Structure 1
Amino acid sequence: MQEAFLGIFISAMATGLGALPILFLNKISPRLKGTLLGYASGVMIAATTFSLIPEALHMSNLYVLSFGLLLGIFVLSMIDSKTANMNLKNSRITTNIDRKTLIVIVAVTLHNLPEGLSVGVSYGAGQEGLGLIIALAIGLQNAPEGFLIAIYLLNQNVSKVKALLIATMTGAVEIITGFAGYFLASYVQGIVSYGLSFAAGAMLFVIYKELIPDSQEEEEKFPTYAFAIGLISMLVLTQKFG
């Protein structure tokens, strides 16, 4: 049990760990932001298409994957449309945070819920070594997500410490679902595939709708190469540790 708790905690906190470099950055220039977003997009598209989707398919079938994926896109699309007309600048909760940044935060948070569940279920399943492998794989995905959130927040003139805390909190939700998955492994295992498919859809929406267009605002060359490097980087890490 102690190993499961440690694995769940470290996997969840990887989001905050990934955001730590933000403490050493000043105001991000548009060119640097585009390059970083391009890199993050590559990492996240690799994590989604080569980790989340194959895992969901392995646990279920194409029908479950398609349903969850489309549901994730639909939910994020609804949130996007509902927040389009909101005056976020006057909100106490979202002061100085624009709509795009809010969408990214919501997407990553929703994305992390089923991931935490999958880590908990993997430990609760009782298969030796499985929990550690899944926790490591999810942790590798969480780190660039935390950095991504921190980039958006820093660009909105949010303080570095506050950006780090918000990024960490989006990953901390995995602790709750991770413990739930561990203790209820025999009951919730069947829904993990739906959750992972949903997470994949939510992330694909954000990558296509927000990250890639934002990365191309100033120039195309450096963000495009950064995208390819990010994708390769995640593939290398997945192949080596996943």
Structure 2
Amino acid sequence: MLAGLASSTILLGFTASLLAGLASGLGALPIFAVRRLSDQVQEVMLGFAAGVMLAASFFSLILPGLAAAQARGSSELGAVSIVGCGILLGAAGLWLVHRYAPHEHFVSGREGPSSERIRRIWLFVVAITLHNFPEGLAVGVGFGGGEVGNGVALAIGIGLQNIPEGLAVAVALLTLNYSRLQALWVATLTGLVEPVGGLVGAAAVTVAQPILPWGLAFAAGAMIFVISNEIIPEMHRRSGLKNFATEGLMVGLVVMMFLDVLLG
């Protein structure tokens, strides 16, 4: 009975993160009609992604992590300590991968170890994968905690922000002279890392329930690292368009807050 319940929870986490990841490919489809996005639209989309991830980190991961720790007998101080350590571990994990995995950003260029022998398109795939894995992990952990509503809210929120993100990735590749099919393929491929993260997260916290607060906090820390290290610098690279990015962030945050309250 318990084994069957665990299996269904893991399957739910994997399926939901897969659907959220496929939204990246869905979002990239308009490249067959549109070759360029205005700077204002790009800023709004970046801000929206940051807002969704920021709200998800707090409403769907950090707060449930604190509640889960206290439900398992921790004091308020103990719960805050557990979640705080988990957040820092999640950020540190992403920082290590970011530092030692060769990758390339569309604006800031190449980072990580020497990568001259790796095709440029694969460097973009790695960079976007580093962004997407924590999102899948968050969805999986959300389901693994046994809170289906929380997992559904996370999956819908992540899927919504993956749609414009997939379009932005595909359009950026077009401007670098990749074909439309290549751009669609890369956008879809990078979204497919999310079910891997979803499977890992759901399996870990389902099999070992005591690590649930740590898993929720770890996923939150990883996403916050991505927001601070990747998305915000991109949002502010055009000084005259910061307001568009800020408006997108506020809308994304409110949308995710509504999803979490209504579904979680």
TM-score of the superposed pair, with normalisation by structure 2: 0.73
- Aligned-residue offset at 1:5: 6.6
CA distance in 1, matches of 2:142, 2:59: 16
Is the aligned partner of 1:141 residue 2:165?
no
Q: Tell me if structure 2 keeps the 8 A contact 1:113–1:174.
A: yes
Corresponding position: 1:209 with 2:209: no
| Residue 229 of structure 1: how far off its partner (Å) | 1.1
1:113-152 alignment to 2 at 5 Å?
Answer: 113=137, 115-122=139-146, 130=147, 132-144=148-160, 146-147=162-163, 150-151=166-167
Structure ID, larger Rg: 2
- Distance in 2 between the 1:29 and 1:139 partners? 28
- Alignment deviations for residues 69-89 of structure 1 (CA, whole Å, 9 cap, x no partner): 111112222233334243446
Structure 1: give runs of 5+ residues left out of the alignment.
123-129
Aligned residues: 228
1:36-75 per-position Cα deviation (integer Å, ceiling 9, x unaligned): 1011111111111111110111111111111111111122
Question: Does structure 1 conserve the Cα–Cα contact (< 8 Å) formed by 2:134 and 2:197?
Answer: no
Rounded Cα–Cα distance in structure 2 between residues aligned with 1:199 and 1:179: 12
Relative to structure 1, is the Cα distance of residues 120 and 97 closer, same or farther in structure 2, using a 3 angstrom cutoff? same
**Alignment-mate amino acid for residue 7 of structure 1:** L
- Residues 26-175 of structure 1 correspond to what in structure 2 (within 5 A)? 26=34, 27-60=36-69, 61-82=79-100, 83=102, 84-88=111-115, 90-92=117-119, 95=121, 97-98=123-124, 102-113=126-137, 115-122=139-146, 130=147, 132-144=148-160, 146-147=162-163, 150-151=166-167, 153-154=169-170, 155-157=172-174, 159-174=182-197
* Structure 2: 5+ residue stretches without partners: 70-78, 103-110
* Distance change in 2, residues 1:97/1:136 (3 Å): same
Among 244, 249, 257, which residue is 1:227 paired with? 249
What one-letter code is carried by the residue in structure 2 that aligns with 1:40? A
Q: Separation in 2 of the partners of 1:10 and 1:164?
A: 19
Identity of aligned residues (%): 25
1:4-43 paired onto structure 2 within 5 Å: 4=9, 7-19=12-24, 20-25=26-31, 26=34, 27-43=36-52
